[in-house]
Copies of this chain bind each other. A is one copy, B any other.
Amino acid sequence: MLIDVPQNKAYALLTGGPTVFITSRSPEGRDNVMANAWNTLFNMDPTQVIVVFDLGHDSTKNIIASGEFGISVPGNALKKGLIGAGTMHARDITEDKFAYAHLEKLPARQINASLVGGALAHLECRIMDPELFARTGIALAEVVAAQVEEDYWDGASLICDNRPEQTLHSAGAYTYFPRGHVQPWSPR
């Protein structure tokens, strides 16, 4: 079950550089979804994130127009969908890209876009610096809503130990590694 994560804790859904879905909606109402491995944090309270986009991508155009995008953090069960979303441009297919990648839509609550159903966590984001984004593709964005699967959240960290799914982290051009054993930096 998805539970809400407060804005001063949501940063922990994106630490460690997971590969994620980025969702957006065009001015004409067409949903889009892409894969992204280039993301990090900018602030913790409230959570603000950085996601790097290619200026030529369809999603970038949607987000320049709307100022909003979703981040859905998948585990293994969505790996094929992540590859599907990451290897085809929306402009090169006629069908809905969620359908193309066999992904379910989950309605967002604060932004005008769909999220990816079945992901372990979701962050709804609003662009803070439109000029920077349009010039460089660097999306500096505030998280306006966040949710996490209750079973994968200990209140401060996203935990995959002994759970069926692991988050996925890019290791190179064609490789990834699963989230390892989450542990304290300094044992108490």
Point out residues on A near B: beta carbons under 8 Å: 12, 15-18, 37-42, 44, 50, 52, 79, 83, 129, 132, 136, 138, 140, 156-159, 166, 169-186
Contact indicator B52/A42 (Cβ below 8 Å)? yes
**Whole-angstrom distance between the Cβ of A99 and the nearest chain B Cβ:** 21
The oligomer's copy count stands at: 2
Contact indicator A176/B183 (Cβ below 8 Å)? yes
Complex partner residue of A17 from B129, B169, B178, CB under 8 angstroms:
B169
Complex partner residue of A180 from B52, B178, B183, CB under 8 angstroms:
B178
Residue of B nearest to A158 (CB): B171
Q: A17-B169, A83-B186, A174-B186 are in contact. List 7 more A-B contacts (CB 8 A).
A: A15-B170, A16-B17, A16-B171, A44-B173, A83-B185, A174-B185, A179-B180
**Whole-angstrom distance between the Cβ of A158 and the nearest chain B Cβ:** 7
Contact indicator A176/B170 (Cβ below 8 Å)? no
Complex partner residue of A184 from B18, B156, B174, CB under 8 angstroms:
B174
Top 7 A-B residue pairs of the complex, sorted by shortest distance between their CB atoms: A17-B17, A157-B172, A16-B169, A12-B172, A177-B180, A40-B40, A178-B180
**Whole-angstrom distance between the Cβ of A178 and the nearest chain B Cβ:** 4
Report how far A38 CA is from B174 CA in the complex, Å. 23
Residue of B nearest to A15 (CB): B170
Residue among A40, A83, A173, A178 with max Cβ neighbours from chain B (10 Å)? A40
